Structure 1
């Protein structure tokens, strides 16, 4: 009995002797955002500490670093009905898939749907798809959001119709200027409804200046697929080139968030040859590396996962694994996958032929493990992985 009592006293003394600085900056900074939001009510000091810029920056740095080594700690499903002015963000903890919280955003001017442009450092950028509507920047965990003015839509002094162009978007962070930026890439059609495109223009919104500017132009015959993916201070879009050689028609268009200049990253010859036999599905990030997904136009619909081992080096693309995708719609793989689990034995799928809900799909035996999280049966739903953050939105926007 005395031994137990002495042990308890020793344990208590060890706890009391831990320096506050270690508790505050080495322990609390590793706690998930949803827990820290509750801890703010413990005492006034913790409220002030957790709201301080120093603590927020340390916590965010840890989240970003741990994210590059593991799959994301959370992701969100954005869903809304056509004609509704309400968007619902569903938060899901990706480690246990049990914590689900909803966050609603309303906009009286929106009568279509919201589209996720991208996520960065815990912020999500949404595009209101009504004509001449703008953007919304939000931190879904702190439930803070801001409206962003829409970009100018003029071509040589003439106001554009939505049938005159095709637009793709991107959202990222300029680490040099410490500036969050929204990028709009506009491909002008040669005439209304034309499948052929003329020149392209890039416009950038800066949260530091709260303004838009035109930054770059590019040659025609580029078709951008999907919104841009942010990694290495760059945005990336899959593009289809207008050249006749089908084996070389796929490429990656990049945009440097600091210099605000366009560039290109090529696929390896082996990957381009595979693309000639099927479809390019999309880009993603896994373990801090740029990855892409391919799908064969065959009966089994094989889906391949490729990673770029050395950023910017075209011949460093390597196929990690592939599986028969007959039961999985490859377009419904989680938009930004921070990995599969157990050395690529499972991959997270948002829709399966058997169930319309989130499932882990086993690549070896083709079995599914249901998570009990259904997609909202609405007109539109979009998924995106994101780290949690305590950071407030930029004050200028």
Structure 2
């Protein structure tokens, strides 16, 4: 009996050895393993470590993971950054802490793409002997919550007012550019020069690891009234979009500012007047506008069908399942559905069938300025395709 058992073990081990040394087969198997487990698998042997660390495997794992995207929800809290993963059924499957983000003020997430999050916060400064927040600047971090790594970007140009940012990705996997709009603060500028003329934009590229000023811009993205940081923006098919405030009310969008990865700018008109509770989302690969009209208790969803010659189409108009005194605080799309966060509830809406699903996220007891994004786990480096040594793990001196 012992001889038979030993022979079976030997044969099984021998077969696995053959599979392990067929590179594509092993990569195909491991690419389906959760990222947290992959990080453990790297310690199995040098061969596995080289494979899992290779850019080719990281790209394959991402393609597989994109088929199983979820939502990542961040209910902003003062003392600790905690993220929740919500699956297709509306169940919380995991919570993630960011231990290296201790002692940061007003930290919030502004976008998610291929497993990387962009987080921003106001830095501290000393003013009249007191430590206060510097609201004329923002610290920007690219984080991978699963690998527990982050990259603190270099500081941008001095600004006389709160900057706005937006993140564009591509054209290659794990490349990105960050657009930062600021009000130039330079002694050389004449005192009589208008604030509009001082507005400029600079771009951080993951390829170079530095900022480059691209000059004055005629429009400035509006800041979100639902968040103390950032502005509502969305990246769709190689282009990034922000709201521009209307001339009549700075809290209501009046048009859309668009920039592409080549750093050219255009403006797009809105299909009709919208409200303060309006959001830009990526719905089925199209720039879409979600506008909630509180008084009428309806939501209109518009889709921009032709990006070259902008043409808006009304996809649907539906009644909202909550009263008009319950504000919509955030909206984001994932594939063909929209996730709404209101003052007291969470909903997933299917525009195709007009179906609302209320989620039970009662375990997220505290929330303030909540946001949610489509999310897929990945092994991507926070520094793009630059030297991964630029990343760092929990380090209070840097983070």
Q: Do both share a fold (TM > 0.5)?
A: yes
| Residue number in structure 2 paired with 1:114 | 107
Give me the whole-angstrom Cα distance separating, in 2, the residues matched to 1:362 and 1:181. 32
| Residue number in structure 1 paired with 2:269 | 266
Cα distance change, pair 62–359 in 1 and its aligned pair in 2 (3 A): same
| Residue number in structure 2 paired with 1:293 | 290
Q: Judge conservation of contact 1:33–1:388 (CA < 8 Å) in 2.
A: yes
Alignment TM-score, normalising by the size of structure 1: 0.71
Shift of 1:208: 3.1
Q: Which moves more between the two structures, 365-374 or 281-290?
A: 365-374
Unaligned runs of 5+ in 2: 1-11, 124-133, 186-193, 225-230, 392-399
| Residue number in structure 2 paired with 1:198 | 196
Instruction: Give CA-to-partner distance per residue, 1:12-46, whole Å, 9 cap, x none.
Output: 9xx98989455334454355535544655666544
Shift of 1:334: 3.8
Alpha-carbon RMSD = 3.8
Q: Judge conservation of contact 1:103–1:143 (CA < 8 Å) in 2.
A: no
Within 5 Å, give how 1:154-233 maps onto structure 2. Answer: 154=159, 160=160, 165-175=161-171, 179-186=175-182, 198-199=196-197, 200-219=199-218, 223=222, 226-233=231-238
Give me the whole-angstrom Cα distance separating, in 1, the residues matched to 2:103 and 2:29. 44
Cα distance change, pair 297–393 in 1 and its aligned pair in 2 (3 A): closer
Q: Judge conservation of contact 1:185–1:203 (CA < 8 Å) in 2.
A: yes
Verify: 1:323 aligned to 2:318, yes or no.
Answer: yes
Give me the whole-angstrom Cα distance separating, in 1, the residues matched to 2:36 and 2:331. 22
SS in 2 for 1:392: coil
Instruction: Give CA-to-partner distance per residue, 1:196-240, whole Å, 9 cap, x none.
Output: 962321121223333222113222687465233122222110213
2:332 to 321, 328, 335: 335
Verify: 1:153 aligned to 2:170, yes or no.
Answer: no
Within 5 Å, give how 1:1-397 maps onto structure 2. Answer: 20-34=22-36, 36-37=38-39, 39-40=41-42, 45-63=47-65, 66=67, 73-82=69-78, 84=79, 86-94=80-88, 97-107=91-101, 110=104, 112-130=105-123, 131=134, 132-154=137-159, 160=160, 165-175=161-171, 179-186=175-182, 198-199=196-197, 200-219=199-218, 223=222, 226-242=231-247, 250-257=254-261, 259-267=262-270, 271-272=271-272, 275=273, 278-279=275-276, 281-299=278-296, 301-315=297-311, 317-325=312-320, 327=322, 331-340=328-337, 347-351=338-342, 353=344, 356=345, 358-360=346-348, 368-372=357-361, 374-394=363-383, 395=388, 396=390
Give me the whole-angstrom Cα distance separating, in 1, the residues matched to 2:110 and 2:162. 15
Give me the whole-angstrom Cα distance separating, in 2, the residues matched to 1:105 and 1:336. 28
Shift of 1:293: 0.3
Instruction: Give CA-to-partner distance per residue, 1:299-337, whole Å, 9 cap, x none.
Output: 3x210122222333322x222222212507563454344
Q: Judge conservation of contact 1:168–1:227 (CA < 8 Å) in 2.
A: no
Give me the whole-angstrom Cα distance separating, in 1, the residues matched to 2:90 and 2:46. 31
Unaligned runs of 5+ in 1: 1-11, 67-71, 155-159, 190-195, 341-346
Number of residue pairs matched by the alignment? 339
Give me the whole-angstrom Cα distance separating, in 1, the residues matched to 2:339 and 2:294. 22
Q: Judge conservation of contact 1:216–1:260 (CA < 8 Å) in 2.
A: no
SS in 2 for 1:99: strand
Give me the whole-angstrom Cα distance separating, in 1, the residues matched to 2:287 and 2:232. 15
Give me the whole-angstrom Cα distance separating, in 2, the residues matched to 1:256 and 1:187. 21
